[in-house]
Amino acid sequence: MKSLTARETQSVLVENRLDGPGKPGFAFRNPSSAIFYDWHAHPCHQITYARRGTTLIEGPDGHHLLPTAHAIWIPAETRHRTMIRNLDGVSIYFDPACFPHDHTEHIQTFPITTMVQEMLLHTLRWQPGSVEHTLIARSFYQTLSMLCMEQMQAKPDRLFTLPRATHPSIMRAMEAALASPGQANLPLALHHAGMSERSFRRHFHEETGMTWQDWMTQARLFHAANQLAEGRRVTEVAVDVGYASLSAFAKAFAKLMGVSPVRFRNLQM
Residue numbers in the chain where pLDDT is lower than 50: none
- Please report whether residue 58 resides in a domain: yes
**160 in a domain, yes or no?**
no
What is the maximum span of the chain, computed from C-alpha positions, in angstroms?
Answer: 63
Would you say 1 and 35 are in contact if contact means Cβ atoms under 8 Å apart? Answer: yes
Can you tell me the distance from the alpha carbon of 260 to that of 247, in angstroms, rounded to the nearest whole number?
A: 10
Question: Does 84 reside within a domain?
Answer: yes
Q: Are the C-beta atoms of 213 and 221 separated by less than 8 Å?
A: no
Angstrom distances, CA of residue 247 to CA of 1, 50, 161: 31, 27, 24
Instruction: Yes or no: say if 111 and 155 are a contact pair by the CB < 8 Å rule.
Output: yes
Q: What is the pLDDT of residues 163-221, one digit of tens each?
A: 999 999 999 999 999 999 999 999 999 999 999 999 999 999 999 999 999 999 999 99
Is 161 inside any structural domain? no
Give the phi and the psi of residue 9 in degrees, each rounded to 5: -65, -45
pLDDT of res. 269: 65
Instruction: Check residue 68 and give its pLDDT.
Output: 82
Q: What pTM was computed for the model? A: 0.88
Predicted pLDDT of residue 116: 95
The DSSP call for residue 160 is T
Domain containing residue 180: 166-267
Same domain as 185, residue 108: no
Q: How far apart are CA 73 and CA 152, in angstroms?
A: 8
